[in-house]
Amino acid sequence: MAAHRGKYATPSFYRRVWAMVRKIPRGKVMTYGQIAGLLGSPRAARAVGYAMFNTQSPDVPWHRVINAKGEISIGGHLLRPDEQRARLLAEGVDLADPRQVIARYRYWPPRPRPTKR
């Protein structure tokens, strides 16, 4: 099951990112750096963004991933930052105040070690 780096093989790191993004509940958001940190690489925020760029699975709520400022990072013309905003608004996420977005809607996944209390 080793992830070969074939053209059509899915990079394992991306998979972890996607898996974590899938766990973001509706109406919640996570940041690139946050995801990277939880995956063990606090400085790999860019790679997380890269993973999002390569996301093609409808299962992955890519729109729930924003930057540390609490805003949508997509500035590109090819993509659709407006769509991300619309999706978040549809889930009840108010993007008016970026700081408030982080404070109110940031999602922290449960720790993988709930045992021992």
Partner DNA sequence: GGTTTGACCATAA
Partner DNA sequence: CTTATGGCCAAAC
- Interaction between residue 109 and DNA (CB under 7 A): no
Cβ-contact 21, 61 below 8 angstroms: yes
Q: Contact at 8 Å (CB) between 65 and 31?
A: yes
Least distance to DNA from the beta carbon of 117, Å? 29
Site for DNA in 60-89 (CB under 7 A): 62-63, 65, 67-69, 73-76, 79, 84
> Quick one: CA torsion of 73, 90, 28, 57, rounded to 10 degrees?
-70
66 Cβ contact list (under 8 Å, min separation 6): 29, 30, 31, 32, 72, 73, 101
Q: What does the CA dihedral 17, 29, 47, 75 come to, rounded to 10 degrees?
A: 140
Helix (H, G, I), strand (E, B) or coil at 47: helix
> Does 28 participate in binding DNA (rule CB under 7 A)?
no
User: Rule CB under 7 A: is residue 107 a binding residue for DNA?
Assistant: no
CB of 92 to DNA, least distance (A): 19
Nearer to DNA, 23 or 69 (CB): 69
Tell me the closest approach of the beta carbon of residue 25 to DNA, in angstroms.
17
Provide the binding-site residues for DNA, judged by CB under 7 A: 5, 7, 11-14, 31-34, 41, 43-50, 52-55, 62-63, 65, 67-69, 73-76, 79, 84
